[in-house]
Structure 1
Amino acid sequence: MPHYLPLLVKKSPTANSYSIEQPKLIESALPKQHLSEVLCPKLQCSNLASPHILRMINMSKLVLVLVLSLCFTQSFAETLSGRIVGVSDGDTATLLTTANKSVKIRLAQIDAPEKAQAFGAKSKQSLSDLIYGKAVSVEVETKDRYGRTVGKIIVNGIDANLEQIKRGMAWFYVQYGRDSTYRDAELRAKTSRTGLWADMVATPPWEFRHGKKTGQSVNVNQTNSANAGNCGSKRYCKEMASCDEAKFYLQQCGVRTIDGDGDGIPCDKLCR
């Protein structure tokens, strides 16, 4: 299709007069790049490719890529389904997936008492009551350095990780936790002295583990500098002079015979 230039006003070189030239036909065969120069003045077209405009375009592209990446990450987060076939302690279980694969699950954002700690057995039993033999889904977060799958276990619509904290059977794992709901649940359990919080000086498991690694954990016949006492030969409540002494023997010396019901509180007649 032919194109026309707009009307041009031209001054006469020999007189103070002006004339109007008729529009000229631009043949359709005119190269496209020449046509664009005619129809779009160079100054205006160059503005479209200014550094500022290009930076804005590149920034928009970057934002779009980031948004799409986030959406895909959330959409394709891994979820495992199956049945719990084993409970190792208060924060670790074994899942048999629907694909008949055994997966060790470490409950995310919580840390339960170690087996050698007060409430270790109670915490394990609590988690077993919650999930053992039941169909669950696991919202996978990552893998830990031991190769265990870290995630949230959902059973019958209940967050088992959070439930352990509510029952006073686990700590909010400060180092790895990020969910304020878990932190708030721990505070409520602590305030009401639920579960392990019956002992207000309970030792967090990460501190307990650190003590074992550095050789600072107290065993039978070792000195406890904090309590200025020694782990002697006492093994029964009738030998304890006070609740504080009974707690010392249970928590620092590992004497389990004074905690018959495994609730982390020794010698009920002395300490209740």
Structure 2
Amino acid sequence: MISEAFVCLVVAISDGDTIKARCGEPGAYQEVKVRLAEIDAPEKRQAYGEASKRTLAALCAGVQAKITPETTDRYGRTVAHVECRGQDANTEQVRAGMAWVYDRYAKNQWLYTVQDAARLAGRGLWSEKAPIAPWEFRHPKR
């Protein structure tokens, strides 16, 4: 599903890597659920889960966002890069230490450089002694 970028109003922040946006013309709006590509934010009940959501909200809530789709996930969400206030929200979440680069889906290797800088600076989740990646938190090894 690679298509052109489009601009929508961000109407809700579900968590640190998912937004809801209202797209289209007045009277014919469509609500789109968007998963930020290449990153994975802490789960809501995980350390930094709520902080991650607040950080994304501070950048994107209530503003026009440029959404550049990459694909659709198994839950029907548009997986995309999202630009709010002239900043790539995906990158900014990693830079703030509010999300990991999602190894399984990462395409842009420079995101690892951003993540390494956040880790070295001890920003956000990297201030924890032993942060647990969301994919490990969701599916702990038994």
Residue equivalent to 2:113:
184
Asked if the contact 2:59/2:85 (under 8 Å) is kept, the reply is: no
Off by >2 Å, runs of 4+ in structure 1: none
Which secondary structure state, in structure 1, belongs to the residue aligned with residue 104 of structure 2? coil
- Identify the structure with the greater helix proportion: 1
Q: Name the counterpart of 2:16.
A: 90
Task: Give the match's secondary structure for 2:79.
Answer: strand
Q: Which residue of 1 aligns with 2:91?
A: 162
Per the TM alignment, residue 153 of structure 1 is displaced from its structure 2 partner at its CA by 0.4
Match of 2:37 among 108, 112, 124: 108
- TM superposition shift of 1:148: 0.3
**Which residue number corresponds to residue 35 of structure 1?**
none
Q: Distance in 2 between matches of 1:130 and 1:200?
A: 27
- Shift of the alpha carbon at 1:196? 0.6
Following the alignment from structure 2 to structure 1, what is the Cα–Cα distance between the partners of residues 64 and 122? 31
Report which of the two structures shows the higher radius of gyration computed on alpha carbons.
Answer: 1
Residue 125, structure 1, aligned to residue 54, structure 2: yes
Structure possessing the higher relative contact order (Cα contacts under 8 Å, 6 or more residues apart): 2
Deviations 1:69-126 (A, max 9, x none): xxxx9xx832221100000000000010133110000000000000110000000000
The size of the alignment, in residue pairs, is 139
Deviation at 1:133, TM superposition (A): 0.1
Corresponding letter in the other structure for 2:11: V
- Partners in 2 of 1:120 and 1:108 — Cα distance? 17
* Counterpart for residue 206 of structure 1: 135
2: distance between equivalents of 1:80 and 1:106?
Answer: 15
d(CA) in 1 for partners of 2:117, 2:13? 26
Report the CA distance between 1:178 and its aligned residue.
1.3
Structure 2 unaligned regions, length at least 5: none
Question: What is the TM-score when the length of structure 1 is the normalising length?
Answer: 0.49
Look up the SS of the partner of 1:145 in the other structure: coil
Shift of 1:181: 1.8
CA contact (8 A) 2:21 2:32 kept: yes
Contact 2:35 2:79 in 1 (8 A): yes
The within-5 A match list for 1:31-180 is: 77-99=3-25, 100-180=29-109
Larger mean Cα displacement after TM superposition, 123-132 or 150-159: 150-159
C-alpha distance in 2 between matches for 1:82 and 1:146 = 20
SS in 2 for 1:78: coil
Structure 2 residue matching 1:127: 3-state secondary structure: helix
Q: Secondary structure at the match of 1:154?
A: strand
- Give the structure with the larger strand fraction: 2
The two structures, once aligned, show a CA RMSD in angstroms of: 1.5
Shift of 1:182: 1.0
8 Å Cα contact 2:8-2:21 kept in structure 1: yes
